[in-house]
Structure formats: structure tokens, C-alpha cells
């Protein structure tokens, strides 16, 4: 008899360094485990680092403080009225029972700091149990300089969400920057941002160190990994899991071109980010047509899910949708690379923008959630080509709000026209011809849209009819924050595709984040978190932060459960 040969041994191996993976690693480490965090890319943060950073954690300790007292019964009603049976009830209960505790644990024991939104409606505010604030939290701004020499190892945010070549901004920051010549308060706030950024660049940083949104959350988690002394490997992709006697005992990783067998005495956590860039899994699970339209990091190709299935894990089922959708516009640069822009919250709800299909007809409430917008694209596409669809606006809208990569305030956009990203025309007939849509339909749609704007009511699709719609509109626009005319030439349009911000289908798990086999039994030593775990939202999108909320929660759940396990002794193997 001889024992297996291992290159390294730890209590817990976590594969993937996004929010779910880092939460699991930190929690297990605080619980007394030795931990190795393995990341396949050369950067920490995963899709968390390029996200908006919202965390949906109902019943958190700040709800009363921000004026939105909540109850389990209320939020459970909302879950039933949005998610329903698209995900197992037990997992939905597990999330609601643990999310506030997970947030409290991270805030009390790590650098993670979150601030509840005083006003941020759930995405279906007209459904029973919805809240107008308190449930979603944002990462508090983080000083990247606290990472020291490790700052360059944190994944950069998307360049399209930075200004001046590297300065991160929030929606509030953007509003100040657009109003610097109109308001002394905005001028002061804008100058503080710019001076801080210039100081960073003069000190040699490759970008600004004032981190906000998802980059702040990733930075705070990374700082906590460093503070806990957790060993992490970059450029260390997963090759396979080691299974002995039905138990996952470790994994083989590739480092410096060499396979290394890592023993995990208590277990392995899969947190590799789902499969949005796996052509095979997309073909199997996505509706058609689909394409390379995801906003997730292109390294998220589903190997965590695929390798876990090879070890006996199973996919979840019953989901409403396989992914969390977002309309995405795409710019092809001269070198052939592509820039993807997700139309999440900035432009679609503003007054004066409408969306049409190939018939030139509207098909959706433009100010609905990004997830619902793409669902409407697929629904419309069943009868009229709607992939791509077209966002249309006039010059007044463009100068005030911009659209996608086309920035407001007279900023250069000719390069976008030349590249075929932005369409511009002096008449609606000319715009229709450039887009390849029906001209009569487009003109009739604009006329109807303008009549609704004049009346302050969108009789056809209800743009601006809910609290969530109006939250993203223009509060200065009366009587409807989301409705305005579309009549001032030149007219503009961009194509949008059925993109996503991550996948909802993943490894079926129990309330302890343990992967389940075909018989519904937990596989000893195998856990999942983040988008590798089958979503507790079942492919529905109830509110901002419903990916990061469960990621942090079940990362914490997995780490806590692992810390309570007994380290397994080596399994004896017979020699030939």
C-alpha cells in the first residue's frame, strides 16, 4: 500500500478569485483552515471587478437606517412573485436566511464595507413584497493604494466605464462631471475627482486608485485575502478534480506549464464564473440566435462546471432563463478587436430614446430592466427580426445623455459613425435605410412615441409607469421622467444584441453549497459558489445585485461549512 503523491496540501482549495471564491476562501481561513486560492488568469477579481458592484442582501442591518424596514414574510412574498418555482424553494429560503449574516460577517471581519441604498426600487415594484430601497447595497469607495504592490494584480474595470483614460466614476460622479459648468457643487466634486486621478498618475499608477462599483468590492475582498495571509496562485488553471472513493480530495492545477496535484483535506470550492464564453454550453442551453455578446471576462468558459460534472455533479434545472441578460452594443475597432457596451441603467430609461425591431416598431418598455429588455427581444424575434434591435434617439438626446459608447456634450463621435457602431441621418427615412428597417414603420413608431411624450403617458408599453422606470429617468422631465420627444435631426441609432452579464445555469447544490450528484446527494468535498452554482434566482432578475448577493452569501456558507468539517486523512491506494 502507498499513499497518493501530492505536490501541495491544504485544507481548502478554492478555484476562482471572484466575489464567491474570495468570500469562501476568507471565511474558511477565518474559520481556521489553510487555504489556497487558485485563479486561471493573471488578475484577481473575476466578473465582480468589472461589474456595477450592487449586492442584493434583503434584511441586512441597514434597512431600518435608510428608511425601509423589511421582514422575512415581505421579501419571501416578493421572491415568490418574481422567482416563483424557477429555483428550488429550499435554496431561496437558504439565501434569505443567510444573506444578511454573510454581509455582517464580512463587514465585521474583513475590509468589505457596503452601504445600503436609500432609494433603489426592486425591478418589479408593482408586485407584492417589493421594496423601494434598503435591500441593495453598494461597495464603499476603496483606496487601491492600500493594496500596495498588489494593485496591479487586481483586474481593471472596463475601459468604457472609466474617463480620462483610467478614472473610475459612479452615476453620481458622471452627473457632476456633466454639470461642472452649470453648478458650483458639481464643479467642486468634479475637480476633486480629477485632481485625485492626476495625482495617482503622477505617482506612477497605471490607472486611478479611487475604486468604486464592483472594482471596489473586488479590491476590498483582495485586501482581505492579503490580510488573512491566504496563499493565491495566478495563471493557475484547473485541469481536473481528484476523486477517491466518491470523495473529491483535491485537484490538478497547471502552474508554470506544469501539472501540480493539490490535496484539499476538507474540500474544493468551484467558483470559476460560469460558462458565458463556452460555445458548447451556450449552444446547448441558450436560446437562439446567440453569439459572442457576453460582458463577462472571456476566460469564463465553464471549465469549473464541466470538470465538476465529470466528478459526478449535476446541472440545475427548471430555470426561467439560462443567463442574466443585458442588451449589448458592439464596436469593432480597426485592429479587429471588439468593444462591448452593456446598456444597463444610463440611457434606455431617459426621455427621448426608443427601441425598434426590423419592422421599425417598438416592442418593449425601454426603461424596463436590462434582463426584461432582452427577454422582449427574443419574444419579438419569434415573429419579427429583433436580433439585433435598434436604440433610436435624436440630437437633443444625444447631446444631453449620449447613447452607449457615443458620449454626450459634443464629444467626438465621428469615429463611431465611420466604424459602423453609430448610425446618423438627417431624416428618419435615411436612418431607416441605413439600419435596414421598414421606414414607414419607423416613422409611425416615432409619431406614436411623440404623442405619448406630449401626453406624458406611454399607452403602448408603459415607459415610465413604474417606480423603477422613473428611478432611472430624468427627474426634471415632467410629467413623465422617462418620456420625451424624438424630433430634432440629426437622428441616431445603435444596434443592440442579446448579451448577458453571466450565466444562471450551474452546478446543483444544497443549502450548504455542496454539489449534488444525480441522486440528489451531496458529493463529499465538492462545493460551488458564484455563477458556477445554479442560481437561486432561477434565471429571473428581481433586483439590482442578485448575482453578487448570492455569490457572497454562498461563498460564506461554503467557507463556514468547510471550516466545520474534519480534515480527511490520505486514502491508501493499491500499487500494481
Percent of the chain with pLDDT over 70: 98
Cα–Cα distance measured from residue 393 to residue 248, given in angstroms and rounded to the nearest whole number: 55
CATH 3.90.700.10 fits 323-500, yes or no: yes
Q: Are 1-166+216-322+504-576 and 323-500 in the same CATH fold?
A: no
pLDDT of 495 above 60 = yes
In the numeric block, which cell numbers belong to residue 318?
A: 427548471
Q: What are the residues whose beta carbons fall under 8 Å from the beta carbon of 519, sequence distance 6 or more?
A: none
**Structure confidence at residue 175 (pLDDT):** 75
Given a cut of 70, whether residue 574 has pLDDT beyond it is no
Report the pLDDT value the prediction gives residue 563, as an integer from 0 to 100.
97
* pLDDT for residue 442 is more than 80: yes
Alpha carbon distance 27, 323 (integer Å) = 28
| pLDDT reading at 4 higher than 70 | no
Mean pLDDT of 353-370: 98
Q: What is the pLDDT of residues 84-134, one digit of tens each?
A: 999 999 999 999 999 999 999 999 999 999 999 999 999 999 999 999 999
**What pLDDT is recorded for position 291?**
94
Nearest CA-CA partner of 127 in 64, 85, 80: 80
Asked if the model's pLDDT at residue 2 lies above 70, the reply is no
Kindly state the greatest CA–CA separation across the chain. Answer: 84
C-alpha cell at 222: 483582495
Handedness of CA 261, 265, 268, 269 (dihedral sign): negative
The pLDDT of 427-448, averaged and rounded, is 98
The reported pLDDT for the residue numbered 409 is 85
Is the pLDDT confidence value at 252 over 70? Answer: yes
Least-confidence region, from 185-189, 221-225, 237-241, 427-431: 185-189
Is the pLDDT score of 3 beyond 70? no
* Residue 191 DSSP SS3: helix
pLDDT band for position 412 (50/70/90)?
A: confident
Pairing of strands 247-255, 238-244: antiparallel
Q: Which of 226-240, 335-349, 520-534 has the lowest mean pLDDT?
A: 335-349
pTM: 0.94
pLDDT at res. 571: 53
Domain boundaries, the chain: 1-166+216-322+504-576, 167-206, 323-500
What are φ and ψ of residue 359, in 5° steps?
A: -85, 0
Asked if 43 and 49 count as a contact pair (C-beta separation under 8 A), the reply is yes
Is it the case that residue 575 has pLDDT exceeding 80?
A: no
CATH superfamily, with its number, for domain 1-166+216-322+504-576? FAD/NAD(P)-binding domain (3.50.50.60)
Average pLDDT, the chain: 94
**Triad 508, 509, 514: Cα angle to 5°:** 135
**Rounded mean pLDDT, 469-474:** 96
Work out the average pLDDT over 228-251.
Answer: 97
Q: Which pLDDT tens digit goes with each residue over 499-510? A: 999 999 999 999
Poorest-confidence range of 172-181, 220-229, 414-423? 172-181
- Judged by average pLDDT, the poorest of 128-132, 134-138, 194-198 is 194-198
Give the pLDDT of residue 163.
Answer: 80
1: pLDDT strictly greater than 60: no
Mean pLDDT of 66-88: 97
Output 177 or 386, whichever has higher pLDDT.
386
Kindly tell me the sign of the dihedral angle through the C-alpha atoms of 460, 465, 471, 473. Answer: positive
Mean pLDDT to the nearest integer, 44-70: 96
* Tens digits of residue pLDDT in 514-543: 999 999 999 999 999 999 999 999 999 999
Under the banding of pLDDT at 50, 70 and 90, the label for residue 218 is very high
Residue 174 CA to residue 472 CA, distance in Å, equals 14
- pLDDT at residue 209, as a whole number: 92
Q: What is the mean pLDDT of residues 263-291?
A: 97
Q: What is the CA radius of gyration of the chain?
A: 24
DSSP 203: T
Amino acid at each position: 500500500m502507498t499513499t497518493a503523491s501530492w505536490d501541495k496540501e491544504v485544507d481548502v482549495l478554492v478555484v476562482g478569485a471572484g466575489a464567491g471564491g474570495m468570500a469562501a476562501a476568507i471565511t474558511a481561513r477565518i474559520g481556521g483552515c489553510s487555504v489556497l486560492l487558485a485563479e486561471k488568469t493573471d488578475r484577481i477579481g473575476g466578473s465582480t471587478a468589472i461589474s456595477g458592484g450592487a449586492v442584493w442582501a434583503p434584511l441586512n442591518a441597514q434597512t431600518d437606517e435608510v428608511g425601509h424596514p423589511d421582514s422575512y414574510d415581505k421579501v419571501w412574498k416578493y421572491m415568490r412573485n418574481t422567482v416563483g418555482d424557477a429555483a428550488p424553494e429550499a435554496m431561496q429560503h437558504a439565501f434569505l436566511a443567510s444573506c444578511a449574516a454573510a454581509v455582517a460577517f464580512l463587514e465585521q471581519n474583513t475590509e468589505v464595507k457596503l452601504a445600503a441604498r436609500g432609494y433603489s426600487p426592486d425591478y418589479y415594484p408593482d408586485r407584492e413584497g417589493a421594496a423601494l430601497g434598503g435591500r441593495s447595497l453598494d461597495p464603499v469607495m476603496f483606496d487601491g493604494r492600500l493594496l500596495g504592490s498588489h494593485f496591479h494584480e487586481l483586474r481593471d474595470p472596463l475601459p468604457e466605464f472609466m474617463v480620462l483614460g483610467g478614472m473610475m466614476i459612479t452615476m453620481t460622479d458622471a452627473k457632476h462631471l456633466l454639470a461642472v459648468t452649470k453648478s458650483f457643487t458639481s464643479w467642486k466634486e468634479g475637480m476633486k475627482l480629477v485632481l485625485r486621478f492626476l495625482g495617482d498618475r503622477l505617482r506612477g499608477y497605471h490607472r486611478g486608485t479611487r475604486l468604486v462599483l464592483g472594482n471596489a468590492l473586488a479590491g476590498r475582498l483582495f485586501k482581505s485575502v492579503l490580510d488573512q495571509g491566504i496563499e493565491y496562485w495566478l495563471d493557475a488553471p484547473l485541469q481536473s478534480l481528484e476523486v477517491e472513493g466518491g470523495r473529491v480530495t483535491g485537484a490538478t492545477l497547471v502552474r508554470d506549464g506544469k501539472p501540480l496535484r493539490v490535496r484539499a483535506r476538507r474540500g474544493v470550492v468551484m467558483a470559476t464564473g460560469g460558462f458565458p464564453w463556452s460555445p458548447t454550453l451556450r449552444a446547448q442551453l441558450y436560446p437562439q440566435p446567440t453569439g459572442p455578446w457576453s460582458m463577462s471576462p472571456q476566460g469564463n468558459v465553464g471549465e469549473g462546471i464541466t470538470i465538476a460534472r465529470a466528478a459526478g455533479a449535476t446541472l440545475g434545472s427548471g430555470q426561467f432563463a439560462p443567463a442574466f441578460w443585458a442588451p449589448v452594443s458592439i464596436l469593432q475597432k480597426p485592429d479587429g478587436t471588439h468593444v462591448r457596451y452593456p446598456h444597463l441603467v444610463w440611457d434606455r430609461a431617459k426621455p427621448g430614446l426608443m427601441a425598434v425591431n426590423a419592422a421599425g416598431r417598438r416592442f418593449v418598455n425601454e426603461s424596463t430592466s436590462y434582463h426584461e429588455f432582452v427577454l422582449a427581444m427574443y419574444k419579438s424575434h419569434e415573429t419579427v427580426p429583433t436580433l439585433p434591435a435598434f436604440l433610436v434617439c435624436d440630437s437633443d438626446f444625444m447631446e444631453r445623455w449620449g447613447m452607449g459608447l457615443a458620449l454626450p456634450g459634443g464629444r467626438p463621435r465621428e469615429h463611431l459613425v465611420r466604424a459602423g457602431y453609430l448610425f446618423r441621418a438627417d431624416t428618419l427615412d435615411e436612418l431607416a435605410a441605413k439600419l435596414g428597417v421598414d421606414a414607414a414603420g419607423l416613422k409611425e413608431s416615432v409619431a406614436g412615441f411623440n404623442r405619448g411624450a406630449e401626453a406624458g403617458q406611454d399607452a403602448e408599453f408603459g415607459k415610465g409607469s413604474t417606480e423603477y422606470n422613473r428611478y432611472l429617468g430624468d427627474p426634471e422631465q415632467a410629467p413623465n421622467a422617462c418620456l420625451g420627444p424624438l424630433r430634432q435631426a440629426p437622428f441616431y441609432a445603435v444596434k443592440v444584441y442579446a448579451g448577458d452579464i453571466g450565466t444562471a445555469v450551474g452546478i446543483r447544490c444544497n443549502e450548504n453549497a455542496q454539489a449534488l450528484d444525480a441522486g440528489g446527494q451531496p458529493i463529499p468535498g465538492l462545493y460551488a459558489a458564484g455563477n458556477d452554482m445554479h442560481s437561486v434566482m432561477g434565471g429571473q432578475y428581481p433586483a439590482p445585485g442578485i448575482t453578487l448577493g448570492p455569490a457572497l452569501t454562498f461563498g460564506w456558507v461554503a467557507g463556514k461549512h468547510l471550516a466545520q468539517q474534519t480534515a480527511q486523512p490520505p486514502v491508501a491506494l493499491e500499487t500494481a
